[in-house]
Each structure stands twice: as C-alpha cells, then as structure tokens.
Amino acid sequence: MDIVVCVKRVPLTEEVDLVIDDQKKGIKKDQLAFVLNDWDNYAIEEAIILKEKYGGQVTAVTVGSEDDEEVLRRSLAMGADRAIRVEAGDISRFDSIGISKILARVVKDLPHDLVFTGVLADDDNGGVVGMMMAEELQLNHACMITAIEIEDGKARTTSELEGGLGEVSLVELPALMTIQTGINEPRYVSILGIRKAAKKELKIMNLADLGLSDEELSPKTIVEEVYLPPETEGAQMLSGDPDTIASDFIEILTKKGVME
C-alpha cells in the first residue's frame, strides 16, 4: 500500500491580532509561528495507520522553501518513510490551480495506491487543491473522509455530509481522498523521533525537474484585496418575560425585513 500525503506549513493565527500586509494581498506573517496544517496532520496519521495495517510506504510532499521542511521532518517523525520538497520560489505567486498542478506532477511519478490531502488549509481555506489534483491525475476521488477501510483493491470510505449525515462509498484504487479532522488521533512526536527522522530521505526538486513552465502555472484567479471585517455594534440583549422577549424579537426581525 503506497500512500502519498500532501502537506503544508501554515501560520498559526489563533489568538493573535492579524495585520494586513502593505500590498493588501494577505496578512503579515513575520511575527507568526508556523505549524503543520491541522487537516494534513490527520492525513499523515491516517496514512501511517494504513501502512501499519497493510504494509507499504508513505511519502510526504510539500511545495515551499527550506523553512517548510519542518513539516516534512514532522511527517517523517510520525512514521512517513520519505519526503519530497518542491522548491518553487515565492509560492504566493501561484493560485490553487498552480499548486495542484505542481503536486500532481510530483505524485504522477511516484507509486501510489492512495493520495491524501487535508480537506482544506488553515491559511486560505480554499479546500480545492485535492479535487483539482484528482482531476489532473484522472484519479477516483472522495471528499471529507472520516473513515477508511481497504478491501479487495477498493477503499470503503465514510464522508461527512451536512446536517450530521454520513455517506459510505466504495472507491476503486488508486484514488485520491481529502481527509477530515477527527478521523483519528494524531500521534505525539517525540524528540527522539525527530532525531531519527533526520536520517530519512528528504528529496529536493524544482519546477524544471517537473517540466512545468511559468505559463502553465500562471494564476487563473487573483486576490484583489484582503481586509478585516468591519466592526459592528454588539449584540442587542432582550430582557423581560418570555412573551415580551418573543414580541420584541419578532418586531426586530420584521424591521430588518426578515419577516413580514
């Protein structure tokens, strides 16, 4: 069972005041800590669980700079067998389509029964790279996976749907799947595990190695402006007995045009 997992290093934005950069194309990241994208953490863990159960090899792949090797080392420490980083310069020049093309070109030449990505990334919340990769690679695919079982060359998957519903599918391998948080409990990475990971293979590639031109990777979507949501007044608190509160609530909804 050969599994490729695409991972990403993202800024940790919880409990910090975000500041828009001077170009108004993103946030200032120089003072932020960076971590392995949460969804990708679950994807790596699920790949390792399947490897331990069925045998095979897990390869972690990322697109980024030398700093981004941190998430690959973590993936190796968790149990991945090898890692690949694509050096592509400033990746902010690529949109989701460009990133999916780069990752797909790497995966194409790797043995793969399964390809995992996280459902989405904490930084842009796009949630489209996995499905674009599946289209590029012409792979069967399933989204928002919360459970996987392998049987007779197929994967029995459970996908999370809206309204608390789930969907069970039987997907022929090879296939690509986007992994949802909560599918497992990612293992703790020890200092010893990180030291051992330093001895595992970490391959560096560039766009020339992949045969991708700037024209192929030119963005089809462009971020025009990033801005903080406007501040609004606080919530209006209603008081009184239940009948009074219900009456006031209906009056407010009517004034705002929600009810007639």
pLDDT of residue 26: 87
Report if residue 122 sits inside a domain: yes
Report if residue 257 sits inside a domain: no
- Total-model pTM: 0.86
Report if residue 252 sits inside a domain: no
Report if residue 251 sits inside a domain: no
Task: Identify the segments of the chain with pLDDT beneath 70.
Answer: 260
pLDDT of residue 149: 95
- Range(s) of the domain holding residue 166: 2-210
DSSP state of 47: H
pLDDT of residue 83: 97
pLDDT of residue 253: 87
Report if residue 162 sits inside a domain: yes
pLDDT of residue 109: 94
pLDDT of residue 193: 82
| CATH number for the domain harbouring residue 190 | 3.40.50.620
Report if residue 232 sits inside a domain: no
pLDDT of residue 53: 95
Give residue 181's identity as a one-letter amino acid code. Answer: T
Beta-bridge partner residues of 78: none
Rounded Cα distance, 26 and 18, in Å: 10
Report if residue 165 sits inside a domain: yes
pLDDT of residue 120: 94
pLDDT of residue 134: 97
Alpha carbon dihedral 240, 243, 248, 249, in 10-degree steps, equals: 110
Report if residue 84 sits inside a domain: yes
Alpha helices by DSSP H, listed for 4-141, are 38-54, 69-78, 96-108, 129-137
Number of domains the chain contains: 1
pLDDT tens per residue, range 87-107:
988 888 899 999 999 999 999
pLDDT tens per residue, range 50-65:
999 999 999 999 999 9
In Å, how far are 43, 74, 117, 134 from 176, measured between CA atoms? 12, 22, 8, 6
